[in-house]
């Protein structure tokens, strides 16, 4: 698998990462057996090709579980720290009914120390602010995170923009032109305090909004881009059936794009990906990931996976090279219908 770089520090990672959240959070049966999840992470790390490192970037957060996801990754890092690039996040507190932001400098520093203990490591490779706290100037939060770099606890800093939805001009069902404006303003502000090495935001064939402004902002400044949900919460894999239903603890049970009507309406996207996949002897998921990889050499998709099979399949996308004709065919697919949330 080819390597890719993140940020001005040229931090190298495998071209495809592993989103660890589904093992502990937001999907049906997420709190699966720890040994099953560990096998998945090990399988991802083992998925190396002749051209370079395999999956190295493991993306987690203290809120996943909460805390149990970091504990899981810590068990793997204890055995294979030198092979992994660990990204975790702070800034969100999980309560019984609400999730709230906390960007107070003292809290950020305590959260980092707690993550280090759970991850069983001395250094976090990429520490991300999960959400800005509206009650705390983001410069103060970012300054505290920069102090963690100076202390040797963190190698690089990132900002997570997942959930900061853009709206593309003229796209069906998406009036207006928000275009990640809030995130861009935040990035400009923190960049004056300490360099941003990576931005994590949603990017996929069915949610390409980051291509308008957010990804160009990153490219212009040499900032890495971690593409979250590159498989459209599983829809682009072609393994979901319209009307199949989801358990109440699954985020898709409340997602407007996962109603039976919207899943049926968006099937042309899956059909198009499958058509390209058949020409390459690949899967629709691999084509969806290859499309993300084709958006730039600093773009790293971090598909979530709960099972070894999917982690290995996703890693295989790094070896798939889409042709100009493939990319044009995907670009011609209809825009996804339905709002995000």
SS3 label, residue 12:
strand
CA 329, chain centre distance (Å): 25
**Contact, 226 vs 59, CB < 8 A?**
yes
d(CA 209, CA 299): 15
Please check whether residue 236 is in contact with residue 304, taking contact to mean a CB–CB distance below 8 angstroms.
no
Backbone phi, then psi, for 272, in 5-degree steps?
-65, -45
How many helices (H) and strands (E) the chain has is answered by: 11, 12
Closest CA to 55 of 80, 30, 79, 26: 80
**Whole-angstrom distance between the N-terminal and C-terminal Cα of the chain?**
35
Q: Which of 27, 64, 107, 127 is catalytic?
A: 64
Please spell the DSSP secondary structure of 283-305, one letter per residue: -HHHHHHHHHHTT-TTEEE--B-
> Which residue, among 157, 172, 179, has the nearest Cα to 206 in the 3D structure?
172
Contact 232, 202 (CB under 8 A): no
3 state DSSP class of 239: coil
Q: CA triplet 225, 302, 163: central angle to 5 degrees?
A: 70
Q: Which residue has the tokens 């084509």?
A: 287
Name residues whose C-beta falls within 8 Å of residue 324's C-beta, 6 or more positions apart in sequence. Answer: none
- Residue 293 is encoded by which pair of tokens? 């990889």
Contact 302, 19 (CB under 8 A): yes
Whether 27 is catalytic: no
Decide: 282 and 320 in contact? Cβ < 8 Å.
Answer: yes
Active site residues: 64
């Amino acid at each position: 698998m080819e390597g890719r770089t993140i940020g001005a520090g040229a931090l190298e990672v495998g071209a495809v990462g592993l989103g660890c959240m589904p093992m502990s959070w937001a999907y049906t049966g997420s709190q699966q057996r720890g040994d099953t999840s560990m096998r998945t992470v090990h399988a991802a790390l083992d998925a190396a090709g002749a051209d370079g490192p395999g999956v190295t970037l493991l993306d987690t957060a203290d809120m996943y579980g909460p805390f149990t996801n970091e504990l899981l990754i810590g068990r793997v890092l204890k055995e294979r720290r030198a092979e992994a690039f660990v990204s975790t996040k702070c800034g969100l507190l999980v309560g019984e009914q609400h999730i709230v932001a906390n960007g107070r400098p003292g809290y950020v520093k305590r959260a980092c120390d707690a993550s280090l203990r759970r991850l069983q490591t001395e250094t976090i490779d990429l520490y991300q602010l999960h959400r800005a706290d509206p009650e705390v100037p983001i410069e103060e939060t970012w300054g505290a995170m920069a102090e963690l770099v100076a202390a040797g606890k963190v190698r690089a800093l990132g900002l997570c923009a997942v959930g900061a939805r853009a709206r593309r001009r003229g796209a069906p069902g998406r009036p207006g032109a928000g275009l990640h404006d809030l995130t861009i303003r935040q990035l400009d502000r923190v960049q004056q305090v300490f360099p941003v090495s990576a931005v994590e935001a949603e990017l996929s064939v069915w949610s390409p909004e980051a291509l308008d402004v957010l990804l160009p902002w990153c490219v212009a400044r040499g900032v890495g881009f971690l593409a979250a949900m590159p498989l459209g919460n599983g829809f682009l894999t072609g393994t979901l059936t319209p009307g199949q239903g989801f358990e109440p603890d699954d985020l898709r049970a409340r997602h407007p794009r996962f109603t039976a009507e919207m899943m049926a309406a968006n099937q042309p996207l899956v059909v198009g990906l499958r058509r390209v996949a058949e020409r390459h002897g690949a899967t629709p998921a691999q084509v969806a990931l290859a499309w993300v990889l084709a958006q730039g050499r600093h773009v790293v998709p971090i598909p979530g996976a709960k099972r070894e099979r999917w982690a290995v399949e996703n890693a295989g996308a790094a070896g798939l090279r889409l042709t100009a004709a493939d990319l044009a065919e995907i670009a011609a697919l209809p825009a996804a219908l339905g709002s995000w949330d």
